[in-house]
Amino acid sequence: MRPDLLQRLPEGQRRLLRPADDDPGAPMLARLTDLRDFGDDWLFERKLDGIRMLASLRDGRVELWSRTGQRLNATYPEVAEALAAQPCPDFVVDGEVVALHRGRTDFALLQQRSGLTAPAAVRASGVAVTYYVFDLLRVGGIDTTRLPQRLRKTLLRDVLDFRAPLRFTPHRNHGGQQLLDQACGRGWEGLIAKRASAPYTHGRSPNWLKLKCEAGQELVVGGFTEPSGSRVGFGALLLGYHQGGRLRYAGKVGTGYDTATLRSLRARLDAIEVDRPPFGEPVRERGAHWVRPELVAQVGFTEWTRDGRLRHPRYLGLREDKAAADVVRETPRGR
């Protein structure tokens, strides 16, 4: 990194800089949208199907943490080592950890690394990860979040040395339905549209929008059914989302599991089983067991039915990085 990186900015942009706090705060989050017509003040990145992760280097120490504040150094030691070796001695960046399979992000594959903290278990997983970095929150003790999005990405290129497993997240300067169609044709999850002139703010923002190729979101696990036939573990997970102060039932998902997942998930479910359903409405499923609404599942599906149920859902994995209390039904918005 050039030592005069920030000093060479125009005066108007330098006025936006300020000393950085020790705590960078919560990450910026995108809103789901059905908007497809964008002006010139937007840039477009690939929507990555992984684990959101903030990373910092300060006083020779690297810290990796999820959007819920969970420490991830032991789970992704190769990322921590790559960041510790950076020539810039002080920074905070934002990005996403992914596992790639044939050029596509594979959340199910990444699940084999999630939650592992023992070095031997991490090595034995055989799953290589990549940390796609897309934003710069601090450099050299200076808070850069009030700088425009496009400028932060320009600075990011100069701050980090992007060698495996680190990768800069590229973007396009123009996008819309045609770019989304291309992304979907490549098997991507979708696009993230970011307002190029906007600052980095904490929490969900209309300046970051997600355009999805397929319906899908996080849902809270509120129960499960017993397996039938030769199946082991359980039959289906009973899912819901928070609305109006209660857990609304969204349906059940019985596909997307392998045998190992069925067995390991059943053990976790048994440990949090309760006598009463957590849902705020009747759920009529035969042989249902109820659990404390603590686990969050990532689920793909084709659409919502008129009565608020999932159509053709499939289980993709658990989201250890997201709090159950924050799960609501995502609805597309405009700008």
Q: What is the pLDDT of residues 128-164, one digit of tens each?
A: 999 999 999 999 999 999 999 999 999 999 999 999 9
Sign of the torsion angle spanned by Cα atoms 200, 187, 319, 163: negative
Question: What pLDDT is stored for residue 157 in this prediction?
Answer: 96
**Is CATH 2.40.50.140 the right assignment for the domain spanning 216-326?**
yes
Q: Is it true that 11-212 and 216-326 share their CATH fold? A: no
Question: What pLDDT is stored for residue 334 in this prediction?
Answer: 56
- 117 has pLDDT over 80: yes
Cα 314 to chain centroid distance, Å, stands at 18
Question: What pLDDT is stored for residue 78 in this prediction?
Answer: 97
**Residue 46, C-beta contacts closer than 8 angstroms, at least 6 positions apart:** 169, 170, 183, 188, 191, 192
- 210 has pLDDT over 90: yes
Q: Which residues are catalytic?
A: 47
Assign 242 a pLDDT band (cuts: 50, 70, 90): very high
Share of the chain above pLDDT 70, in %: 98
Q: Where are the domains of the chain?
A: 11-212, 216-326
pTM for the predicted model, two decimal places: 0.79
Q: What is the mean pLDDT of residues 48-76?
A: 95
Q: What is the mean pLDDT of residues 302-312?
A: 87
- 125 has pLDDT over 60: yes
Q: What is the mean pLDDT of residues 14-36?
A: 92
- 335 has pLDDT over 60: no
What does the CA dihedral 186, 195, 320, 304 come to, rounded to 10 degrees?
A: -70
Q: What is the mean pLDDT of residues 310-321?
A: 90
Compute the distance between CA of residue 54 and CA of residue 210 in angstroms, rounded to an integer. Answer: 19
170 within 8 A of 45, measured Cβ to Cβ: yes
Lowest mean pLDDT among 116-130, 196-210, 272-286, 299-313: 299-313
Question: What pLDDT is stored for residue 184 in this prediction?
Answer: 86
Question: What pLDDT is stored for residue 297 in this prediction?
Answer: 96
Where residue 47 falls (left for φ over 0; alpha for ψ -120 to 50; beta otherwise) is beta
Q: Which fold has domain 11-212?
A: D-amino Acid Aminotransferase; Chain A, domain 1 (3.30.470)
Question: What burial letters (b/e) apply to 251-277, b meaning 16+ CB within 10 Å?
Answer: bbbbebbeeebeeebbeebeeeeeeeb
Assign 2 a pLDDT band (cuts: 50, 70, 90): low
What does the CA dihedral 79, 84, 85, 88 come to, rounded to 10 degrees?
A: 120
Q: What is the mean pLDDT of residues 288-304?
A: 93
Question: What pLDDT is stored for residue 283 in this prediction?
Answer: 94
Question: What pLDDT is stored for residue 302 in this prediction?
Answer: 79
Assign 312 a pLDDT band (cuts: 50, 70, 90): confident
Pair of tokens at residue 183: 């992304």
Average pLDDT along the chain: 93
Assign 280 a pLDDT band (cuts: 50, 70, 90): very high
- 332 has pLDDT over 80: no
- 214 has pLDDT over 80: no
Question: What pLDDT is stored for residue 201 in this prediction?
Answer: 97
